[in-house]
Structure 1
Amino acid sequence: MKQTTSSITHKKVTTKREAFLNEMERVVPWSRLLKLIEPYYPKAGNGRPPMPMETMLRIYFLQQWYSLSDPAAEEVLYDIEIMRRFAQLELFDDAIPDETTILKFRHMIERHTLSEAIFADINNHLVEKGIRVSQGSMVDATIIQTASSTKNKDKKRDAEMHSTRKNNQYYFGMKIHIGTDVNSNAIHSATVTPANTADITELPKLLRERDRVVFADAGYTSDSYKRGARALGMSWKVNDKRKVGKEMSASQKKQNRKNSSVRARIEHCFRVIKCQFGYQKARYKGLEKNRVQVFTLLGLVNLYMLRGRLEG
């Protein structure tokens, strides 16, 4: 990495942003991700030479961590020295990528579905670093809202998003469904659907062939799935749901509390996505563009949550 200016070198306080980026600098497997992207990245030719590939990948990750649009990403590279340093750029020595260059890199990721490859490669990296994989999964879903206004060019809401009701409140947008490992809580599977998709319908896509136990909240209650899981030799640790006009027994409540003490850890993933990375609203129109961003985010969530073990 290039040397910083003397004013930064001599400062005595490490900001939260700087501490975070220093951690990510150490835990992101840069070399293997660059090798993954390299076949699709533009090569130098007769036209304007492309920006360094690693710089563009670092800017793309900054966009995910700080919820930055393409114009905002260009602006912070001029305004914030710490982010510019993370991107391996010097203000007076290097060309700063403009928003169009940043957009083209993002479109390359979308066009070649590289976000899913990044997600899978990060998970392979975790295994190689000794993150133990269990034979159990926890599953859950969260709603990501999107603009419901019709004050746009088409005079209508996004046709691929839908409304759903939760706790007597309506939301318009999409759902992120994830499966995490019981041992490490690393996200291993994910799907993105309209918000009105029932959680239970995505369950088979979130489990692994080797799984022998599944934890989930009452939204995944299903007698048929329960019988099927037990027929396959799986332990069904899904919370019971109170039936209409009937209270749950003391044993059911006790078992629910026991299951929830394990299952609750999956909520940490959603906290990182929404609070740490600021992904509370969908940025793009349509499910596909948002799905691409979600898979990149989930890979980065795994690195962030397991950074202590990766650095240890």
Structure 2
Amino acid sequence: MAAGFRPEVRFHVAAQFSDLEYSARRKQTRRDRFLGEIDAITPWAALVEAIEPHYPKGKRGRPPIGLERMLRMYVAQQCFNLSDEGIEDAVYDSQAIRRFVGIDLSREDAPDATTLLQFRRLLERHDLTRVIFERINAHLQERGLLLREGTVVDATLIAAPPSTKNENKARDPEMHQTRKGKKRNVVTGLVHTVKGTAANVSDVSQVPDLLHGEEDSLHGDAGYIGAEKRLDGHRPETHIACKRGTVRAMPEGPARERVRAAERQKAQLRSIVEHPFHVVKNLFGYRKVRYRGLTKNTAQLHSLFALANLYRARRWGLLTQG
């Protein structure tokens, strides 16, 4: 018995030493810093409160994994654009992700991919990613970070897989080809509305669903010409870009220079819409939709833009709330 007991003791001591060595090391990696910022700025208590009424209570069968731990694993999955199996492997491979999720491998195993899949489906079934998006925006608005005076509308293209290797042997019927847009977003520095549509839906047709009703001004590129005609009741002052070539077609002179200066000013203001796109597409790596159907993909977009709002808000002192 003594011979069989000694290897277990040696393994336990090695695991504990590894954790202490990781905590004491001087260099902090970019992944450490990134997850540390996400951990500090996320209002975990508010998100857990929103999800808890729908989360299994464990009255039958095996007790469920803690809600905040599953939420943290889901957040890490979105930030690194990983599949369910990918984030399970990452928990075992990365000490930084284990610390973020709250897993001690010397005492317990990480939640498996199937458990995360069930959690993600629970969020989709009860529209909880939209609730997460709203709770995070409320958190930002309480701190005066979500402004509502003006709205910039824009669309960006997210590719859909062309593969037919699925149960129906067909491409996703809710995705279509176009030059513009798989999702619609409205931002005022931070995103306040996200809407998913098929790619062949025109930009301007979505304007009524993208305004929150309190803005004084509406800004957009030439794809939103005629937006004011789509609005009923609330009509903010519109600043829509001219069609390409309009300025070049004007004769040289003071009038052309005034229009050019006005268009340049519009473009400078509209550029703010690219910042959340940059976070989602370049930092989070979301360049191709992962799921079939608009419902699932729009649910993920709510999570991604909620996290993008938090990540962008970190520069305004929100880290101290952690």
* TM-score (norm. length: structure 2): 0.87
Match 1:125 to one of 139, 151, 155: 139
Do structure 1's residue 219 and structure 2's residue 223 form an aligned pair?
yes
Is there any run of 5+ residues in structure 2 with no aligned partner, and where? 1-15, 251-255
Offset of residue 133 of structure 1: 2.0
Match of 2:276 in 1: 269
1:13 aligned to 2:27? yes
- The aligned residue for residue 48 of structure 1 is 62
Bigger helix share: 2
Distance 1:73 1:148 in 2: 24
After superposition, the Cα gap between the structure-2 partners of 1:253 and 1:5, relative to the gap in structure 1 and judged at 3 Å, is same
Q: Is the Cα contact below 8 Å between 1:138 and 1:216 reproduced in 2?
A: yes
Partners of 1:63 and 1:286 in 2: CA distance: 20
Shift of 1:44: 2.4
Partner of 2:206: 202
Selected match of 1:239 from 241, 244, 248? 241
Residue 111 of structure 1 corresponds to 125
Cα contact 1:141–1:178 (8 A) shared by 2: yes
Alpha-carbon distance in structure 2 between the residues aligned to 1:51 and 1:267: 38
Tell me the distance in 2 between the aligned counterparts of 1:215 and 1:131.
20
The structure whose residues are more often strand, as a share, is: 1
Identity %: 38
Superposed, 1:293-304 pairs within 5 Å as: 293-304=300-311
Pair 1:186-2:197 in alignment? no
Compared CA separation, residues 149 and 96, structure 1 to 2 (3 A): closer
Q: CA deviation at 1:131?
A: 1.6
Contact 1:230–1:236 under 8 Å retained in 2: no
Aligned to 1:39, which of 44, 49, 53?
53
**In 2 relative to 1, CA 4–115 (structure 1 residues): closer, same or farther, beyond 3 Å?**
farther
Q: CA deviation at 1:204?
A: 1.2
Paired letter, 1:311: L
Letter in 2 for 1:197: V
**Matched residues in 2 for 1:112 and 1:217: separation?**
35
Q: Kindly indicate whether the alpha-carbon contact (under 8 Å) linking 2:137 and 2:146 is maintained by their aligned counterparts in 1.
A: no
> Retained in 2: the 8 A contact 1:4–1:85?
no
Is 1:162 the equivalent of 2:166?
no
Deviation string 1:169-208 (CA, Å, 9 cap, x unpaired) is xxxxx61111112xxx111111100111111111111112
Asked which structure has the greater CA Rg, the reply is 2
Alignment RMSD, CA only?
A: 2.3
Q: Cα–Cα, structure 1 residues 252 and 116, in superposed 2: closer, same or farther, change >3 Å?
A: same
2:76 to 53, 58, 62: 62
Gaps of 5+ in 1: 167-173
Distance across 1 between alignment mates of 2:30 and 2:130: 29
Query: In 2, are the aligned partners of 1:162 and 1:195 still within 8 Å (CA)?
Result: yes
Contact preservation (8 Å) 1:141, 1:176: yes
What secondary structure, in the 3-state scheme, does the structure 2 residue paired with 1:307 have? helix
What is the identity, as a one-letter code, of the residue corresponding to 2:219? F
Q: Which residue of 2 aligns with 1:311?
A: 319
CA distance in 1, matches of 2:161, 2:300: 17
Q: Judge conservation of contact 2:84–2:113 (CA < 8 Å) in 1.
A: yes
Q: Does 1:100 align with 2:119?
A: no
Residues 200 and 233 of structure 1, relative CA distance in 2, 3 Å threshold: closer
Whole-angstrom CA distance in 2 between matches of 1:132 and 1:119: 13
Distance (whole Å) between structure 2 residues aligned to residue 256 and residue 245 of structure 1: 9
Aligned residues: 299
